[in-house]
């Protein structure tokens, strides 16, 4: 097939590589513009651009993919299919209706569950035991198009959103190639989604990482996993009259809760070689151990090392 590929982050990279390996003709790669990053705000190319350069593919980086100049360019290219994987811009009907096989989107959830920008994070936060990849015919209504191929995978009990994303990116590449094969062979089945069963996974912002300690240990553990590697779960450590923002990188469930002591959720219950144990919601069946942290502006470290060097004591409060 003659393919236009739209994608931006690491998640999209295996899909692009798989198209080339399967000997599809990738005419053009469309990705987001270079963005400033880091303290020096240096321009950095998106991962898909770097791979496209390595593969010697034509690249377009529009501020708005729906600009008439881009739409006309796509008309000239006349692709059989446009493949979209975590591109990052809404695509108008002017583009959606151009290719013979429409636009195909690779979405990281078992649709109609978790429509939206952050399906992997929210699946982990919500304690889902499995997720997957769904290929759909892209339409203007977000992630609501007809489904073509769907594959599932288990979510590990301690797996972070970042780790799961790496696995799903590879599964997404498999689903993409299978989808195009079925379409070429004329055997693809297009299944409407049940809108009434749809759930949503809104885009994350930094503020979404703030921990609410008034939850049980399992929900808090899932939250920390789901916020990793971004926006990262964080809390504030209160010491008498001061407080310090702390990012929580790794947690572990274990040991009975101290609910019978009526401690406020977020109170430090214990400090040991295992880490820092924190009181959780009163109906929790097990406590929560913080294993790894990153104080604001400093390197990441074990919770044990943090407790030794940052004046952390039992009965101090995370808020």
What domain count does the chain have? 2
Q: For position 284, what pLDDT does the model report?
A: 52
Q: Within this chain, do residues 179 and 235 fall inside the same structural domain, yes or no?
A: no
Q: Within this chain, do residues 11 and 129 fall inside the same structural domain, yes or no?
A: yes
* Predicted TM-score of the model (pTM): 0.95
Q: For position 282, what pLDDT does the model report?
A: 66
Q: Within this chain, do residues 56 and 125 fall inside the same structural domain, yes or no?
A: yes
Write down which residue in 197, 217, 251 finishes a domain: 197
Instruction: For residues 15 and 103, give the distance between their C-alpha atoms in angstroms, rounded to a whole number.
Output: 15
Q: Which residues of 43-82 are buried (b: 16+ CB within 10 A; e: fewer)?
A: eebbbbbebbeeeebeebbeeebeeeebeeebeebebbbb
Give the domain range for residue 306.
206-318
pLDDT, tens digit, 9 for 90 and up, residues 210-254: 999 999 999 999 999 999 999 999 999 988 778 899 999 999 987
pLDDT at 255 over 80: no
The CATH number of the domain holding residue 45 is 3.40.50.170
Looking at residue 196, the DSSP 8-state letter turns out to be G
Q: Within this chain, do residues 214 and 313 fall inside the same structural domain, yes or no?
A: yes
Q: Within this chain, do residues 63 and 210 fall inside the same structural domain, yes or no?
A: no
Q: Within this chain, do residues 43 and 182 fall inside the same structural domain, yes or no?
A: yes
Calculate mean pLDDT across residues 142-147: 98
pLDDT, tens digit, 9 for 90 and up, residues 265-300: 999 999 999 999 999 986 555 779 999 999 999 999
Q: Within this chain, do residues 189 and 281 fall inside the same structural domain, yes or no?
A: no
Q: Within this chain, do residues 93 and 231 fall inside the same structural domain, yes or no?
A: no
255 versus 47: which is more confidently predicted?
A: 47
Calculate mean pLDDT across residues 104-127: 98
Q: Within this chain, do residues 46 and 120 fall inside the same structural domain, yes or no?
A: yes
């Amino acid at each position: 097939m003659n393919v236009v590929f739209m994608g931006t982050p690491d998640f999209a990279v295996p899909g692009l590589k798989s198209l080339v390996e399967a000997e599809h003709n990738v005419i053009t790669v469309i990705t987001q513009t270079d963005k400033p990053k880091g303290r020096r705000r240096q321009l950095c190319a998106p991962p898909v651009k770097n791979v496209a350069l390595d593969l010697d593919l034509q690249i377009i980086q529009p501020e708005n993919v729906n600009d008439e100049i881009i739409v006309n360019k796509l008309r000239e290219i006349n692709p059989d299919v446009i493949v979209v994987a975590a591109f990052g811009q809404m695509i108008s009907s002017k583009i959606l209706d151009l290719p013979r096989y429409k636009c195909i989107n690779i979405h990281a959830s078992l649709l109609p569950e978790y429509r939206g920008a952050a399906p992997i994070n929210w699946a982990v936060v919500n304690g889902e035991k499995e997720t997957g990849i769904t290929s759909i015919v892209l339409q203007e209504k977000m992630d609501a198009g007809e489904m073509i191929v769907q594959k599932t995978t288990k979510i590990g009990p301690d797996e972070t959103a970042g780790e799961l994303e790496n696995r799903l990116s590879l599964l997404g590449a498999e689903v993409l190639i299978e989808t195009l094969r079925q379409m070429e062979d004329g055997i693809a089945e297009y299944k409407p989604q049940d809108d009434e069963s749809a759930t949503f996974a809104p885009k994350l912002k930094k503020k979404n990482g703030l921990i609410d300690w008034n939850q049980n240990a399992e929900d808090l553990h899932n939250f920390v996993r789901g916020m990793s590697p971004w926006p990262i779960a964080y809390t504030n450590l209160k010491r008498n009259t001061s407080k310090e923002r702390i990012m929580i990188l790794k947690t572990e469930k274990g040991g009975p809760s101290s609910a019978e002591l009526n401690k406020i959720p977020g109170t430090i219950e214990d400090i040991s070689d295992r880490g820092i144990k924190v009181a959780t919601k009163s109906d929790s069946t097990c406590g929560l151990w913080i294993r790894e942290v990153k104080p604001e502006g400093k390197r990441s470290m074990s919770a044990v090392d943090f407790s030794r060097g940052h004046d952390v004591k039992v009965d101090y409060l995370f808020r």
